[in-house]
């Protein structure tokens, strides 16, 4: 029986777990992105937890980015900006959250999925977590997630990823470039290490963790407006004939 899409929040020993899943490849429609950003914000206000973990369900793709079906349905610039604000709002929710957020990437990350990995505070992955920025291949660009990518990886690496939209880069490569703090041989090992790190951090002074996060995210207060500008650019490109034509190749009739 097919599993329904979900965003859920659970707690265990002062650790909050935020999990999303949209079978089979975790491409996220706007509604799920809205639920995800709201859940992240809610968890940040939960005094019962000191640390958060962001993960996806299943053992395959971590996140394939935004839903192509939603993207293809865009018919106005307003709809386009609203669509791309989905990932913008999630990134800003991660950035503004007062708690340290650990990312757990168990499979491939594409487009916006790479942005999520870059926007958490520390990210662990399995060797199956290869990454790709495919946006140029459908006529748009990784504009909304670019600030998070550049902050974590630097301009040169972002350029390399963006200008190779057909290429999956290995999890080991992503670790060497700084996206992942560590890469493990199996998803079981990944889950164990994420749990160990989360429990260790949960025993720390939550105020100290919060103050450290503020320092790490200094000089990003302008992102609320910046990502909105980037969403507008992407929304306009989504209406281009090039993008509309490309999307038809990826969407099954």
Average pLDDT of adjacent 10-residue blocks, the chain of 253 residues: 84 97 90 97 97 94 92 94 97 98 98 98 98 96 98 98 98 98 97 98 97 98 98 96 90 68
DSSP track, 161-178: HHT-TT-PBPHHHHHHHT
Separation between Cα atoms, residue 62 and residue 59, nearest integer Å: 8
**Residues forming beta bridges with residue 21, ordered by sequence position:** 6
Q: Is residue 184 within a helix (H) or strand (E), and if so which, with residue range? A: strand 182-184
CA-closest candidate to residue 132, choices 85, 68, 179: 179
Q: In what helix (H) or strand (E) does residue 222 lie, and over which residues does it extend? A: none
Quick one: DSSP state of residue 141?
-
Query: Which pLDDT tens digit goes with each residue over 24-57?
Result: 789 999 999 999 999 999 999 999 999 999 999 9
Of 113, 96, 82, residue with least CA distance to 37:
96
At 1 the pLDDT is 41
- Enumerate the H helices of 13-145 as residue ranges: 30-44, 68-72, 77-96, 112-119
CB 152 within 8 A of CB 178: yes
- Separation between Cα atoms, residue 145 and residue 114, nearest integer Å: 8
The CA distance from 148 to 151, in Å, is 5
The class of domain 6-185 in CATH terms is: alpha beta
Domain boundaries, the chain: 6-185
Q: Say if CB 99 and CB 120 are below 8 A apart.
A: no
């Amino acid at each position: 029986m097919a599993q329904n899409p979900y965003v859920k929040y659970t707690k265990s020993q002062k650790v909050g777990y935020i999990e999303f899943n949209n079978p089979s490849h975790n491409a996220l429609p706007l509604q799920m992105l809205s639920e995800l950003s709201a859940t992240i914000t809610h968890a940040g206000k939960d005094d019962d937890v000191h640390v958060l973990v962001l993960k996806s369900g299943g053992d395959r793709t971590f996140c394939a980015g935004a839903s192509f079906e939603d993207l293809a349905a865009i018919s106005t610039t307003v709809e386009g900006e609203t669509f791309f604000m989905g990932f913008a709002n999630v990134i800003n929710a991660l950035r503004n959250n007062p708690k340290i957020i650990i990312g757990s990437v168990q499979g491939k990350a594409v487009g916006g999925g790479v942005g999520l990995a870059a926007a958490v505070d520390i990210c662990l992955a399995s060797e199956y977590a290869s990454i790709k920025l495919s946006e140029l291949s459908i006529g748009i660009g990784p504009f909304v997630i670019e600030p998070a990518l550049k902050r974590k990886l630097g301009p040169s690496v972002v350029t390399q990823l963006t200008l190779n939209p057909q290429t999956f880069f290995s999890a080991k490569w992503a670790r060497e470039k700084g996206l992942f703090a560590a890469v493990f041989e199996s998803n079981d090992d990944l889950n164990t290490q994420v749990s160990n790190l989360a429990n260790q951090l949960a025993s720390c002074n939550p105020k100290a963790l919060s103050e450290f996060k503020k320092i790490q995210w200094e000089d990003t207060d302008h992102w609320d407006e910046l990502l909105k500008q980037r969403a507008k650019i992407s929304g306009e490109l989504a209406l281009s004939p090039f993008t509309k034509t490309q999307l038809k190749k990826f969407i099954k009739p």
